[in-house]
Amino acid sequence: MSQNIKKKTISADKMGSTPMLRLILSMSLPTMFSMIIQAMYNIVDSVFVSSLGQDALTALSLAYPLQLMTISVAVGTGVGINSFISRRLGEKNQELANNGAANGIFISIISWLVFLLVGIFLTVPFFKLFNPTPGVMKYGVDYTSIILIFSVGVMVEIAIEKVLQATGNMIFPMIFQLIGAVTNIVLDPLFIFGIGPFPRMEVAGAAIATVIGQILAMLFAIYIFFFKKHAVQVHVRNFKPSLKIIKNIYAVGFPSIIMQSISSVLVVGLNAILMGFSEAAVSVHGIYYKMQSFVFMPVFGLNQGLMPIMGYNFGAKNKDRLHSAIRYGCIIAAFIMLCGTVIFWVFPAQILSLFNANDDILNMGIMAMRFISLSFLPAAIDIIFSTTFQAVGKGFSSMILSLLRQLVFILPAALVLSNFGVNAVWFAYPIAEVGALIVAIFLYTRINKKVFSKLQPGVPIADI
């Protein structure tokens, strides 16, 4: 027993003693790799489905906000779980860390039940909002209802993933994501086109491949979490939901859910604006949103490594290491985003050709890829500051920043710019990110002065 306790302590204490750059890379690289694989399988559906025609591609573009909403709730809740556990570990409160993990998995199951009902009752009304063609309607309803009804896999797997990441374990979460991604990539063509003994299911087949991958990843995550030793443990027999812990999780998690969900509202709003031009414009936006994940997902992987480091050192009141983590995070994120900007400017035609783009999509898409990618560099700093706010329990500041980035600034800008043609709409993205960056710097400066600068051992964080 003493050896197990010692092993847990060493695993957690590495976040308070390992040289910062080495620690960030060791914590982030496995997750960044898995997030790149995740990005790959996010676009595989669209790549294969594009062979079925523009109706199928448009259907997936319209379906994306609801699919993104499930991910938003899963990840947002997971962020709250991660922040709660890493802070409790930093405070050396093992019992609360364990209880936080148990309650986090419990609320992930409740979240799935909500999306089960949404998938059954609200999928058709959602698609009717866009007045689509019959082909787009059928494809969209088939795909979306399956994704939502069987979203239990993604909900539970991400909850367990975030629990383990809060303890500094990044390898198993990477394996969970790889299982889901590889399964989806292998099964997609089999179910979509009906290869061998598999029936041809077209767009519905893409959804089935996705949920099978998610459920397999969940089952493996459950096995690893409950049957292997970790720095936190959950005992199902003695579990009782704790309203206090759930509130604490959602103090960070709910703003994060709102923050993540804003992307869904953004896509719905922009699709409504773009439908005023053509279905090709919606398809272009859908392609961009899939492809930008190759740039943003590594940064989100970096965030997953940074968050427990920041949360632990904030809980331990080590402001020097906290500032060091923020500084390195900004540098690494900016480098990733710079690489993404170069790729989107140099190879937009090649990116679009992956989706069997016709002339309308190709001509419009080249301009879109280049204009929107101007937002990548300011977005890097916005995302790192947002992660910092979440890690230290300032979820409301993170939510405000995301609301500005993905709703308050961008949709009005897109609506105004739409008067100057479809190509002008794409400039709404860099305008929104630059505006949000100004606010992010203000919020960070304020929190740094009022909270971070006063961190010192022996002073309770609640009193700062």
DSSP string computed for 310-347:
HHHHHHTT-HHHHHHHHHHHHHHHHHHHHHHHHHHHH-
Instruction: Return the pLDDT at 374.
Output: 96
Residue in this structure with the two tokens 């695993």, named with its chain if needed: 11
Instruction: Return the pLDDT at 187.
Output: 95
Length, in residues, of the chain? 464
Instruction: Return the pLDDT at 255.
Output: 78
| Residue 6 located in a structural domain | no
Q: Cα–Cα distance between 267 and 388 in angstroms, integer?
A: 25
Q: Cα–Cα distance between 279 and 372 in angstroms, integer?
A: 19
Number of H helices, E strands in the chain: 20, 0
Residue in this structure with the two tokens 């998690």, named with its chain if needed: 253
Single pTM value for the model: 0.73
The DSSP letter of residue 457 is T
| Residue 4 located in a structural domain | no
CA atoms within 13 A on the CB side of 63: 31
- Based on C-alpha coordinates, what's the Rg of the chain? 22
**Number of domains present in the structure of the chain:** 1
Instruction: Return the pLDDT at 13.
Output: 63
Q: Please name which of 62, 409, 40 lies closest in space to residue 267, comparing C-alpha atoms.
A: 62
Boundaries of domain holding 320: 12-463
Low-confidence ranges of the chain (pLDDT < 50): 1-11, 458, 462-464
Q: Cα–Cα distance between 151 and 411 in angstroms, integer?
A: 29
Q: Cα–Cα distance between 143 and 136 in angstroms, integer?
A: 11
| Residue 7 located in a structural domain | no
Task: Quickly list DSSP for 211-278.
Answer: HHHHHHHHHHHHHHHHHS--SS---GGG----HHHHHHHHHHHHHHHHHHHHHHHHHHHHHHHHHTT-
Whole-number Cα distances in Å, 285 to 267, 368, 378: 9, 8, 20
The DSSP letter of residue 201 is -
Q: Cα–Cα distance between 305 and 363 in angstroms, integer?
A: 39
List, in sequence order, every beta strand (DSSP E) within 319-439. Answer: none
Residue 403 token pair: 């609301």
CA atoms within 13 A on the CB side of 16: 20
| Residue 5 located in a structural domain | no
Residue 365 token pair: 């898409």
| Residue 401 located in a structural domain | yes
Residues 6 or more apart whose Cβ sits within 8 Å of residue 326? 310, 384, 385, 388
Q: Name the amino acid, one letter, at 47.
A: V
